[in-house]
């Protein structure tokens, strides 16, 4: 909605786009805005968003039974500097991909099993659509019960390595 991203994408189109031939669960990872308000809610589990993304990419690239789609924050291009694309260029795993800017988040919510974010508002959007949310750190809704909150970096890493979305009662959410 932020920049009229209206390209709806179907599950088969997403699989074809990334060259994925299987029906593995797909988890979305939404990057945070690095420059406007990187610590508005405080971060205690990571140095900054880059630290979080590098850890997440490293783990995701090694978990072969999940397909991962990474989505840059809509205002990344406004500021320049290091981007999600720059960070992802170091990882060449077949099960990770970057979402094109034009793809609709609504389509992604329908296709994916859940979302991972530090504390972005996308977690509220996913939860409101009955989808699972994993928070990497505390934020303004971490303790509301609508998401799985990782209290420490080790807690986050353990959660990321398992099928955490299967443990969330999305009906209750």
Q: What was the pLDDT predicted at 43?
A: 78
39: pLDDT strictly greater than 90: no
The reported pLDDT for the residue numbered 38 is: 52
More confident residue, 42 or 163: 163
Choice among 21-25, 74-78, 122-126, 143-147 with the minimum mean pLDDT: 74-78
Alpha-carbon radius of gyration of the chain: 15
Q: List, for residues 86-124, the tens digit of each pLDDT value.
A: 888 888 889 999 999 889 889 999 999 999 999 888 999
Q: How far apart are CA 162 and CA 98, in angstroms?
A: 21
Is the pLDDT at 3 greater than 70? The verdict is: no
Mean pLDDT of 62-77: 88
SS3 26: strand
Lowest mean pLDDT among 6-10, 21-25, 70-74, 152-156: 6-10
Helices (H), the chain: 11-18, 49-60, 76-79, 84-88, 105-111, 122-128, 153-160
Mean pLDDT score of the chain: 87
CA-to-CA dists, residue 126 to 21, 48, 51, 105, 130, angstroms = 25, 23, 24, 10, 7
What pLDDT shows up at residue 1?
43
Q: State the residue for tokens 């793809």.
A: 103
> How far apart are the C-alpha atoms of 147 and 132, rounded to whole Å?
7
The model's pTM: 0.91
Name which residue leads in pLDDT, 79 or 1.
Answer: 79
């Amino acid at each position: 909605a932020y920049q009229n991203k209206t390209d709806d994408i179907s599950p088969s189109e997403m699989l074809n786009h990334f060259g994925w031939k299987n029906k593995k669960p797909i988890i979305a990872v939404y990057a945070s805005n690095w420059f406007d308000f990187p610590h508005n809610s405080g971060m205690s589990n990571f140095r900054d968003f880059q630290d979080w993304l590098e850890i997440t990419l490293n783990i995701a690239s090694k978990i072969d039974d999940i397909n991962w789609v990474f989505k840059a924050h809509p205002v990344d291009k406004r500021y320049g500097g290091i981007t999600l694309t720059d960070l992802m260029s170091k990882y060449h795993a077949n099960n990770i991909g970057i979402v094109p800017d034009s793809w609709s988040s609504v389509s992604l919510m329908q296709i994916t099993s859940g979302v991972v974010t530090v504390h972005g508002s996308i977690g509220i959007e996913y939860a409101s659509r009955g989808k699972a949310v994993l928070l990497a750190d505390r934020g303004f809704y971490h303790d509301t019960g609508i998401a799985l909150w990782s209290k420490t970096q080790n807690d986050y890493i353990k959660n990321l390595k398992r099928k955490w979305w299967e443990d969330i009662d999305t009906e209750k959410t």
